[in-house]
Structure 1
Amino acid sequence: MTQHVALVVGGTSGIGLATARRLQALGATVHVAGRGKERLDDIATTDPEIIGHRADGGDRGEITAVVEAIGRIDWLVISLSGSEGPGPFADLDLGMLRRAFDAKFWGHVTTIQAALPHLAPTGSITLLGAITARAGMPGTAGIAAVNGAVEALVKPLAAELAPIRVNGVSPGLVDTPWWNGLPDQAKQAYFTQAAQLLPARRIATAEDVAEAVVLAATNANITGTILETDGGARLVSMA
């Protein structure tokens, strides 16, 4: 049996790195791409079996160079994110919102286009959106638009690119480096309060979401689907 090859773009931390580790544990040859040399150096030490590439998901030339170096890709996972986008709509900085689209939505589009010639016909593409794409939380209109645009790619691409499978995963609150901009005490206070509202009564870990990502990427009968892994946040008001 030919060993599967996976590429996780945005795979140097958080959900992306947790996904890379799970895919590697399944026996795949796993490549990760990220912009930060320090994180790639850390992975080379902690996870020497994972192959790192320094590349920006929004840079067509850099991603093309990565996929050409890899060759055939069975499982493409795009776990791009950014810290910009939230905030009251009336005060949203449009320059900031454009940067948020560049970082996440256009990064997804660029990566998919660059990788397509190298995807195996039986392969898959898995995108990372977020609950904000479908929830009505005040202060999230900007980031909701970004994630909604990402998730809107799933169904038409699943039909257009078949038999390549295309899916999305939509996390809710996840304890990842995305929250590092908050002081630790403020973050923990918010997580404690939010966990009391969630039906699951807990904040997800990156590993929780990675489990769903791996299912979407590897299950041959799932396509055109967005897996919600939000602890039930869509069922309650988080405002």
Structure 2
Amino acid sequence: MSQRTALVVGGTSGIGLATARLLYARGATVHIAGRSKERLDALAITDAELVGHRADAGNPDEMSALAEATGSIDWLVLAASGSEGLGPVADLDLPMLRRAFEAKFWPHVTTIQAVLPHLTPDGSITLLSAITARTGMPGTAGIAALNGAVEALVKPLAAELAPIRVNAVSPGLVDTPWWNSLPEDAKREYFAQTAATLPVRHIASAQEIAEVVALAATNANLTGTIIETDGGARLVSLG
């Protein structure tokens, strides 16, 4: 098989970066895109094998230029994330929820449109949602709707874009920089309590989720599928 090319949008930290490193280790040329110049500059030193691009996934002109510069793309991974959308529905900040959709849902659609002309016919698109779309946790209606919207893209696009494959990965709690806003002691305590409840008895690492993302991106027989990798969170009550 000739060398493959991957583009990981949101590839400068967390699950996106772990996925980029994994795909590179498996022989792909890997481009990563993010908005933070500081992160990209740091990765140019620590992960010089990854080709960094500064671009906003919600900006169609920037994403089109990035795709043009990258050339033919086999595997598009969309790991754009956001930190807003939580809260009980009675007090849910609707402008905040709109910002959350702007930060995650619309960049998915924008990037797919921009990159599509550059995807190989046997290529793939892999989206990142979250298990909130599939559970009934109180206080998550907003973020559940957001991740549900991302997941709703999968089946129609898998049918519409065939033979290009389209899948999503739905993680539960993952130890990534997403949690850095919590004080370290509070984070440690919350993770310990939650891990004791999960059937797998631990909080996932970004590497564990990246292995599932890489499977969705590279397996030629997988399309129209949402893979749950939540440590069994949907089987228990975390509320």
**Same-fold status (TM-score > 0.5):** yes
Q: Which residue is 2:208 aligned to?
A: 208
Match of 1:35 in 2: 35
| Gaps in structure 1 of 5+ consecutive residues | none
What whole-Å deviation, never above 9, does each CA across 1:46-68 have from its counterpart, x for those lacking one?
11010000001111111111000
> Which one-letter code corresponds to 2:130 in the other structure?
A
TM-score by length of 1: 0.99
Whole-Å Cα distance in 1 between the matches of residues 162 and 25 of structure 2?
27
State the secondary structure of the residue aligned to 2:8. strand
User: Hey, what does 2:195 align to over in structure 1?
Assistant: 195
Give 1:142's aligned amino acid: G
Report the Cα distance in structure 2 between the residues aligned to 1:146 and 1:45, rounded to whole angstroms: 35
Q: Give the ranges of 4+ consecutive aligned residues of structure 1 lying more than 4 Å apart after TM superposition.
A: none
Q: Which residue of 1 aligns with 2:224?
A: 224
| Aligned-pair CA distance for 1:42 | 1.1
Q: Indicate the residue corresponding to 1:175 in structure 2.
A: 175
In the TM superposition, residue 89 of structure 1 has moved relative to its aligned partner by 1.0
What is the distance in 1 between the residues matched to 2:131 and 2:177? 17
1:60 corresponds to 2:25: no
CA shift digits 1:156-210 (9 cap, x unpaired): 1000000000000000000001111111111111000000100000000000000
Cα RMSD, aligned residues only: 0.6
Tell me the TM-score normalized by structure 2: 0.99
Q: Give the % identical residues.
A: 75
Q: Deviations over 1:77-108 (max 9, x none)?
A: 00011111111111111111001001100010
Per the alignment, residue 8 of structure 2 pairs with 8
Amino acid at match of 2:203: I
Q: Distance in 2 between matches of 1:177 and 1:92?
A: 24
Separation (CA, whole Å) in 2 of partners of 1:15 and 1:78: 10
Residues of 2 paired with 1:64 and 1:182: CA distance? 36
Q: What is the deviation of 1:3? A: 1.1
**Residue segments in structure 2 that go unaligned for 5+ positions in a row:** none
Equivalent position of 1:134 in the other structure: 134
Shift of 1:2: 2.4
CA distance in 1, matches of 2:27, 2:41: 22
